[in-house]
Amino acid sequence: MSSHVFYRKYRPKTFREVSGQEFIVKVLQEAVHRGTISHAYLLAGPRGTGKTTLARILAKALNCLKPKHGDPCGSCENCVSIEKGFFVDVIEMDAASHGGVDEVREIKDAVEFQPMHSQYKIYIIDEAHMLSKAACNALLKILEEPPRYVVFILATTEPEKMIPTVLSRVQRFDFKKLTYKEVRQKLTRITNEESLTIPDDALTHICYLAEGCLRDAEMMLDQVAHIDLKEHNIQTIFNRPSTVKLMQLLHSIATQNSSDSLAKLTEFETSSIPPVHFLRDLLSLARKVVLLKLHKGAADILSKEISKEDIATLTLLSEQFNLHHLTTLIQNLIESRKNIYYSPIPFLPIELAILTSLEETTLS
Ligand SMILES: [Zn+2]
């Protein structure tokens, strides 16, 4: 079974079904409702946060035969065929594979013709930062005098790579990563509708591992949907270190217990977790400890990505750690990253980083 089942099945089809990005959804829906449409939009932001999904919803909303306050009905002829990708007036292209000047010149010729079955002719260009320079210039020519019925929706994960002249001609929306709560709500909805029995702590871990990328969360849920999770640890399935064990390791480090730290590290090493995953997850937790130590509102901010129980444990750690010790640890760990690939024992640079930080703080 493909691990895209839930992602496809539960992909939002209307503005009201979108998780997160409330502000963007509201502005776009209102613009459709009021008919104040821009000729070019840029949807920018991290992967898996709904850019292409929202682009399609906007395309439907603009051409829907029975929109409800700017939201597509989802069931008219136009909505259905846009959803299936058969609609002639909604053209999707991936600039990563078709971002050359010829493709854009073809668009330039095609925009001269009015839409065949609808009010708007819509071009959705994914990975728009991959458009070649010549293609961008051709696109600019269109955007200088766009026919009234043409709308471009550009999506990109790397807006900083787009040329300023294009950026100056688009209405830009910056997508944010989804919060822990938003990912959780969506997964809960899926587990309910699919009658899946996934333990609560497993769902928590998936939301945590997804780091704000809803698509990743849905794919992970797919992978574990039919496994008896009582027998498996979810982090083992995804080859990630257990958060609880990582926090225990941080506790040993905070309390300057070298032998215990080393024992715990050895346990990670023998569990076949890739050292890069281990390092990333450890650093991500250590960073949260710093935040909790220095910033009063940190618990509030973090509650959007991790569970209450984890915040409580991390807060305790923030009290146990000396700030200098913690920043030294983080610096050493970052430093160790580049040595992992060269070291005959990949975990060794990480071990050394931790032991050095323990030593430095004992001496200071
Ligand atoms: Zn419709």
In the chain, ranges of CATH 3.40.50.300 domains: 21-174
If DSSP codes are grouped into helix, strand and coil, which group holds residue 152?
strand
Q: CATH top-level class for 243-363?
A: mainly alpha
Is pLDDT of 111 > 90? no
Confidence of residue 364 (pLDDT cuts 50, 70, 90): low
CA of 317 to the centre of ligand 1 (A): 53
Most confident segment among 25-34, 200-209, 221-230: 25-34
In the chain, ranges of CATH 1.20.272.10 domains: 243-363
What's the confidence (pLDDT) of residue 241? 85
Q: CATH top-level class for 180-237?
A: mainly alpha
CA of 82 to the centre of ligand 1 (A): 9
CA of 40 to the centre of ligand 1 (A): 22
If DSSP codes are grouped into helix, strand and coil, which group holds residue 360?
helix
Could you give the angle at which helices 214-224 and 200-210 cross, rounded to 10 degrees?
140
What's the confidence (pLDDT) of residue 231? 65
Stretch 121-130: mean pLDDT, rounded? Answer: 95
CA of 153 to the centre of ligand 1 (A): 19
CA of 148 to the centre of ligand 1 (A): 21
If we measure between CA atoms, which residue out of 108, 113, 119 comes closest to residue 143? 108
Is pLDDT of 232 > 80? no
CA of 151 to the centre of ligand 1 (A): 18
Q: Please check whether residue 252 is in contact with residue 264, taking contact to mean a CB–CB distance below 8 angstroms.
A: yes
CA of 299 to the centre of ligand 1 (A): 43
Average pLDDT, the chain: 91
Q: Based on DSSP, count helices (H) and strands (E) in the chain, helices before strands.
A: 19, 5
CA of 276 to the centre of ligand 1 (A): 47
Minimum mean pLDDT range among 122-131, 268-277, 313-322, 333-342: 268-277
Is pLDDT of 266 > 80? yes
Alpha-carbon span 338 to 209, nearest angstrom = 23
Is pLDDT of 152 > 60? yes
CA of 32 to the centre of ligand 1 (A): 13
CATH of domain 21-174: 3.40.50.300
CA of 218 to the centre of ligand 1 (A): 26
Q: What is the total residue count of the chain?
A: 364
CA of 81 to the centre of ligand 1 (A): 10
CA of 169 to the centre of ligand 1 (A): 29
Q: Can you name the residues that pair with 93 across neighbouring β-strands?
A: 125
Alpha-carbon span 40 to 176, nearest angstrom = 20
What's the confidence (pLDDT) of residue 211? 84
Amino acid letter, 65: L
CA of 26 to the centre of ligand 1 (A): 18
User: What's the predicted TM-score (pTM) here?
Assistant: 0.78
Q: Can you name the residues that pair with 171 across neighbouring β-strands?
A: 41
CA of 68 to the centre of ligand 1 (A): 9
Q: Please check whether residue 241 is in contact with residue 347, taking contact to mean a CB–CB distance below 8 angstroms.
A: no
What's the confidence (pLDDT) of residue 56? 96
In the chain, ranges of CATH 1.10.8 domains: 180-237
What's the confidence (pLDDT) of residue 4? 79
